[in-house]
A and B are shown apart, each in its own frame.
Chain A
């Protein structure tokens, strides 16, 4: 027993030593330029080494025909879907997986049960300020029952299919494996209670308006959706825990929505039966809107207001068709104002007219929404399409409701509204424009460039946030973008506890900065500092166009950007996406050198002069005046007392001449020794860990300055220390790293030579701000003017009484 135990212990120790680290006898130097191939998946026939879809790339497809009824009295949804699943893979599939996202609201859902609470720490009761809303929500969870109630799963003929629900996923076992290239059709019917989005919000739900007793529905994740099956993940059925979003297949949708007859519905796709659900006036207005120069009301605010007090006379069925989309969402309410405008420069595939930009919002959203929403949609299409590809769908819609911001193909939900009196703050205005740009932008990433959101949040959020900033900066000058510049992220990047961008969504504590901000900042740096706009824009567009209607993974993005730009970026991806290092480059030392001419006629006098120029020590100064023996006894003087150190000896001449002969023999011009240049050895170190280009501003004593941009490869041999020799005819006065504040350097103090004492912001604020001479003179002039005016008034007053007499 003892022997077994100790043998086991030994084996375990050995195993942990062997597998914990590579077996080395010396520490490995860091290699920040190591090629990423070791980390990235091996290229294959589906995904090439250049980052493009391979010749054997395949992806599945799922078409849906759905009939659904929205019950406005019970806030429930009942549906029946016929799903045709196309197996384009080379594998036979014995079972299919579907996503049942509303199960996240089940009593025992993982989302609820695994949500953590902050721990109590000394001096801190984390529950001291327990929001009332949280208690409301907790209480609601006890009574609110919202799993998807599956009433039937059958094949096309109606025979029941065995199925197993695994929390937010469902497995359907096929009677026979679905062969490669084959397709299968099956039916699912279900119902569920829609969640009150004000209390339990997770990207969809309803809002109840107490005043007019009406509901506004934003419906998404509402039907059993096929999980993705692909070459990289197999079945992507990681549970829906709340953070990681959706990974879906493309397909065609035909959806028939039955809603109260006085509701207005907005949905993914094109309305197929306007004659049945829209009035003649509405249809005429839509026609006008297609070519109008500004948004046109299809349902006016007054009409929407009147509808609020109306009652439905039954139901209507709205039929929508959407081709080649990965999802379907809709919104329904009698409160909707509806405006629309054809987006010039964007052609709809079908029908043949401009892409229709449309906004749906209740009166509570006015006057903000009619002013900005549809314009923001069109602006997004303009800028995003310029950087990626032409918008391929017929409509782009923005809905106001209880959801702050969420995206689906051709439709998105956006929250900002004015206050009740119709006024709104500057913050609300920009929050609205920003969120609409962001959500409509999501059509491009991931609705069309269909990245795996469940696994990598950053691939759509980070890329989208980046392009969003480009769009915002072209909305108006100095648009308050929140996540553009590297300097804004310094606090996060120098922080403790941050995980790399390449981390699964569910494990990231700081999702905003990690998946939205840092990738956007990294891409901005890549565009402005490392590649330049031309190379970057070409590479980014190549990526987008390669992966239109396909599913890329991080390796495909990294590889494409290199492949199309021609620049090795492995160091960049490795540093920014795989580590939590930050940027801090330091200018350590500047050493000045001049060339030794080797000519004794020049060097000997120079050495003598240098010696003479050295400061005298106190001892030397005081000793100079003391009496000396050889002055009293001149016979003690000899040759060496009067010898001039600058004397050129024959041996010096000989040495120099021999050197010249050697140079001549090697065909080196002798005058190269007399090159009149100053040499500066500038030493840098990489304190923060992230290797970055060194942008060096050089100021010369003659008043001129220049900028030297050294690519990051200067760090490739030694990741921590670098040096650069500068040869110049001028004399350097000062140096500065990162003069334009581009790279997000966390410590600015070590960027300067000579060192500048950097005052803290607090100190700078405390000290009196430099008075503005302009202001001072202006104030002085005004003061004098007032004084003069007062004097002349006084004189006039003295005269007046005479006049009125």
Chain B
């Protein structure tokens, strides 16, 4: 598939109450303070607020795409209070995402391993968003990575301290989705646990919080 060039990112924040109305030129002007693409016309102004439809429907051609899935196994070790994760991805998809995230080419073949690991950890921390039951964000640490299955799969091993275990913890698993809008991420909690499927950037609860007495 054609490599995506690093794309500019805008940040849309929830607007203050008073201005959530279509056709407010002052606010729209502020929001549209970006390099001019099209000639400005008054017809454009309401567009941004009206039904913020993700245009990825048009740009992501599902047809003939290889399957964009990742698979992770997460095990909680009560003796160390650590959550250990093994994440399997396609190496070329990872390179695309890391390159876009870092803003310069990152490849397994050419980037020195320490630099690759740094970029990988930064990307993990930006896309594998874990929150404990009480709202804190445990830091992720990279243990290592290895290519397997004739270099078809890259396994990434990382961990974090999760006091109290996964009960009530929430995860937004956005790995690779900024590069591939149709990315499906699967995460299995423990050998016997159910697999959570992450199709979008929304959070999911890893395990139900214990019932309050």
- The contact sample of 22 A-B pairs, CB cut-off 8 A, is A115-B57, A116-B54, A117-B52, A126-B200, A129-B11, A131-B178, A133-B59, A137-B59, A138-B47, A140-B38, A143-B44, A242-B57, A404-B65, A425-B3, A478-B150, A491-B72, A496-B195, A511-B182, A512-B67, A513-B69, A760-B73, A763-B84
A416: chain B residues within 8 A (beta carbon)? 1-2
A132 on interface, CB distance cutoff 8 Å: yes
**A-chain residues with CB within 8 Å of residue B14 when the two chains form the complex:** 120, 125
Please name all residues of chain B whose beta carbon is closer than 8 Å to the beta carbon of A511 when the two chains form the complex: 62, 182
- Extra contacts besides A137-B55, A139-B47, A480-B152 (12): CB < 8 Å: A115-B57, A116-B54, A121-B203, A131-B56, A131-B178, A134-B55, A138-B55, A416-B1, A431-B92, A491-B187, A491-B195, A749-B191
Asked whether, in the complex, the Cβ of A513 is within 8 Å of the Cβ of B67, the reply is: yes
State the A residues within 8 Å of B (CB). 111-113, 115-143, 199-203, 242-243, 245, 403-407, 415-417, 419, 425-428, 431, 434-435, 438-439, 478, 480, 482-483, 490-492, 494-498, 509-513, 516-517, 747, 749, 758, 760-763, 765-766
Query: Contacting A517 at CB < 8 Å: which of B54, B67, B75, B84?
Result: B67
For the complex, is B125 an interface residue (Cβ under 8 Å from A)?
Answer: no
Contact A762 B85 (CB under 8 A): yes
How far, in angstroms, from A321 to B95 measured CA to CA in the complex?
Answer: 44
B151 to chain A, nearest CB (A): 8
Which residues does chain A contribute within 8 Å of B53, judged by CB atoms? 112-113, 115, 117, 138
B residues near A, CB below 8 A? 1-3, 7-14, 34, 37-38, 41, 43-44, 47-48, 51-59, 61-73, 75, 84-86, 90-93, 95, 107, 129, 131, 143-144, 146, 150-152, 155, 157, 159, 170, 172, 178, 182, 184, 186-188, 191-192, 194-197, 199-203
Please determine whether B186 and A492 come into contact, CB atoms closer than 8 angstroms: yes
Which of chain B's residues have a CB closer than 8 A to the CB of A405?
Answer: 61, 63-65
Contact between A132 and B7 (Cβ–Cβ < 8 Å)? yes
Query: In the complex, how many angstroms separate the beta carbon of A615 from the nearest chain B beta carbon?
Result: 33
Select one of B41, B58, B95, B143 contacting A137, CB under 8 A: B58
Given contacts A121-B203, A747-B192, A762-B157, contact A403 B61 (CB under 8 A): yes
Min CB distance A620 to B, Å, is 39
Contacts of B55 in A (CB 8 A): 133-138, 141, 200
The answer to whether residues A129 and B9 also contact, given A435-B64, A495-B197 and a CB cut-off of 8 A, is yes
From B48, B66, B75, B196, give the contact of A762 (CB < 8 A).
B75
What residues of A have a CB within 8 angstroms of the CB of B65 in the complex? Answer: 404-405, 512
Residues of A close to B69: CB separation below 8 A = 491-492, 512-513, 517
Instruction: Flag if B191 contacts A758 (CB, 8 Å).
Output: yes
Roughly how many angstroms separate A765 CA and B73 CA in the complex, as a whole number? 13
Contact check, B58 vs A512: say whether CB atoms are below 8 A apart. Answer: no
Q: Are A492 and B86 in contact (CB-based, < 8 A)?
A: no
Flag if B195 contacts A512 (CB, 8 Å): no
Query: A439 touching B7 by the CB < 8 A rule?
Result: no
Q: Report Cα–Cα, A111/B60, bound state, in Å.
A: 13
Distance of B98 from chain A, by nearest CB (Å): 13
Assess whether A512 is in contact with B143, with CB atoms less than 8 Å apart.
no
B52 near A490: Cβ-Cβ < 8 Å: no
The reply to whether B3 and A136 form a contact with Cβ atoms under 8 Å apart is no
A127 touches which of B52, B92, B159 (Cβ 8 Å): B52
User: Do the beta carbons of B64 and A127 come within 8 Å of each other?
Assistant: no
Q: Which residues of B contact A438 (CB under 8 A)?
A: 64
Q: Is the CB of B152 within 8 A of A498?
A: no
Inter-chain contact B47/A117, CB cutoff 8 Å? no
The docked-state distance in angstroms from the alpha carbon of A758 to that of B95 is 31
A132→B70 CA distance, assembly (Å):
26
CB distance from B25 to the nearest CB of A (A): 15
B146 touches A765 (CB 8 A): yes
Given A143-B38, A425-B92, A762-B75, do A406 and B61 touch, yes or no (CB 8 Å)?
Answer: yes
Q: Which residues of A contact B66 (CB under 8 A)?
A: 431, 434, 482-483, 512
**By the criterion CB–CB under 8 Å, are B199 and A510 in contact?**
yes
Given known A-B contacts A126-B202, A139-B38, A480-B152, A132 and B191 have beta carbons under 8 A apart: no
CB pair B86 A762 closer than 8 Å: yes
In the docked arrangement, what's the CA distance between A143 and B45, Å?
12
For residue B146, which residues in chain A have a CB less than 8 angstroms away from its CB? Answer: 765
Q: CA A74 – CA B52 in complex, angstroms?
A: 29
Bound Cα distance A68, B33 (Å): 42
Q: What 3 pairs between A and B have smallest CB-CB spacing?
A: A427-B92, A405-B64, A491-B186
- Given A113-B51, A490-B71 in contact, is the A510-B11 Cβ separation under 8 Å? no
Which one of A122, A131, A200, A435 has the greatest number of beta carbons of chain B within 10 Å? Answer: A131
Which residues of A sit under 8 angstroms from B186, Cβ to Cβ?
A: 491-492, 494-495
- Select one of A200, A496, A749, A765 contacting B143, CB under 8 A: A765
Query: In the complex, are the beta carbons of A513 and B95 less than 8 A apart?
Result: no
* Docked-complex contact B54 and A115, CB < 8 angstroms: yes
Known contacts A134-B54, A498-B197; is-contact A201 B61 (Cβ 8 Å):
yes
Q: How far is the CB of A443 from chain B (nearest CB, A)?
A: 13
Q: Which residue of A lies closest to B192 (CB)?
A: A747
| Nearest Cβ on chain B to A282's Cβ, whole angstroms | 29
Please, which residues of chain A bring their CB within 8 A of the CB of B92? Answer: 425-428, 431
**Looking at the complex, which one of B67, B91, B184 makes contact with A483 (CB distance below 8 Å)?**
B67
Q: What's the nearest-Cβ distance from chain B to residue A466, in Å?
A: 13
- B9 and A131 contacting across the interface, CB-CB below 8 Å: yes
Which chain B residues lie closer than 8 Å to A137 at the CB level? 55, 58-59
Which of chain B's residues have a CB closer than 8 A to the CB of A242?
A: 57
Identity of the chain A residue whose Cβ is nearest the Cβ of B202 in the assembled complex: A121
Q: What A residues does B54 contact at CB under 8 A?
A: 115-118, 134
Shortest CB-to-CB span from B163 to chain A, Å, is 19
Chain A residues near B199 (CB, 8 Å)?
A: 497, 509-510
Cα-based distance from A112 to B129 in the complex (angstroms): 30
B59 touches A425 (CB 8 A): no
The docked-state distance in angstroms from the alpha carbon of A129 to that of B200 is 13
Shortest Cβ distance from residue B148 to the other chain A in the assembled complex, whole angstroms? 10
> How far does the alpha carbon of A200 sit from the alpha carbon of B56 in the complex, in Å?
9
Min CB gap B126→A, angstroms: 9
Given the interface pairs A123-B170, A483-B66, A766-B157, the reply to whether A142 lies near B203 with Cβ below 8 Å is: no
Query: Is the pair A118, B200 in contact by a Cβ cutoff of 8 Å?
Result: yes
> Which residue of chain A lies nearest to B197 when distances are taken between CB atoms in the complex?
A495
Q: Which residues of B contact A747 (CB under 8 A)?
A: 191-192
Residues of B within 8 A of A141 (CB): 47, 55
Q: How far is the CB of A285 from chain B (nearest CB, A)?
A: 29
